[in-house]
Structure 1
Amino acid sequence: MKLGFTILFARDLGPLKAFYKDAVGFRAGAEYPEWVEFDTGPAKLALHQAGPDDPETRGVGLFFTVDNVDALVRRLAERGLEPQTAPVDQDFGFRTVAYTDPLGNRVEFGEPLAP
């Protein structure tokens, strides 16, 4: 089984779309007033307009694998983003760095460490 989408629900898609498209640099795919998809590889990230009775967020955490965490941190800093944590080598075999999106969701990027 493979993850097809991670969906973030929000009343205002504008700040989230700007974060993932303009700041992080993901390429947008299908875009509708209540739905935006980003091509993130085999699994897609989707933003969905929340209804008036839906919570602003569902506390989603995201993890993306990247080739070079330190290069990513430099690129995101050029776009005005500062990490929540400094890059660190983790016991589970990844060098990671964490950011927070406009809704407070944790967005973590990980580079596989050499065996």
Structure 2
Amino acid sequence: MDITIHYAFLPHTDAEAALGFYRDTLGFEVRQDVGYEDMRWITVGPPGQPGTSIVLHPPATDPGVTEDERRTILELIAKGSYTAVTLATDDLDGLFERLAAAGAEVVQEPIDQDYGVRDCAFRDPAGNLLRINQRA
């Protein structure tokens, strides 16, 4: 049995800012951009990897979410405590420099971790935590 991760979901609070970050700064392909009323779901992914995507979605739009719950979710997103994703690259330092130069919020500069990886961390425009590992 072969199981893969097809989609991961990250909330966005500004569709255009998310699109600019994931498409223009990270270099991901836009695979879908779907609007409904004043909301957008944007599917992006790394070029050459059509089976792996991130869906950038409006937060707290599920039926039954109260206004208090929505406010709490937005606060957690802004702090980077709501969700996270880890990416990997062959050139951690080069990608770090590119993201930092583009104005991405640096959380951690590249460092060799005690648990055996070299990584760094950023926040996307919504505040989601992005860790980036160096491939071995």
Q: TM class, shorter-chain normalised?
A: 0.7 to 0.9
**Relative to structure 2, which stretch is displaced further, 102-111 or 14-23?**
14-23
Higher helix share: 2
- From 16, 25, 39, the equivalent of 1:23 is 25
SS of the residue aligned with 1:17? helix
The Cα of 1:105 is off from its aligned counterpart by 1.4
Q: 1:64 aligns with which of 78, 87, 97?
A: 87
Q: Is the 8 A contact 1:23 1:76 kept in 2?
A: yes
Name the aligned partner's letter for residue 9 of structure 2. I
SS at match of 1:102: coil
1:79 aligns with 2:102: yes
Q: 1:71 to 1:12 in 2, by over 3 A?
A: closer
Query: How far did residue 83 of structure 1 move?
Result: 2.2
How many pairs were matched up? 113
Query: 1:99 Cα shift?
Result: 0.3
Per-residue Cα deviation, 1:25-73 (whole angstroms, up to 9, x for no partner): 2121111122211123342111123428454348111100100100111
- When residues 67 and 30 of structure 1 are mapped into structure 2, their CA distance, relative to the original with a 3 A threshold, is same
Aligned to 2:44: 38
TM-score w.r.t. the length of structure 1 is 0.80
Larger Rg: 2
Gaps of 5+ in 1: none
Query: 2-side partners of 1:6 and 1:86: how far apart?
Result: 24
Q: Following superposition, which runs of at least 4 residues in structure 1 exceed 3 angstroms of deviation?
A: 52-58
% same residue: 26
- When residues 67 and 16 of structure 1 are mapped into structure 2, their CA distance, relative to the original with a 3 A threshold, is same
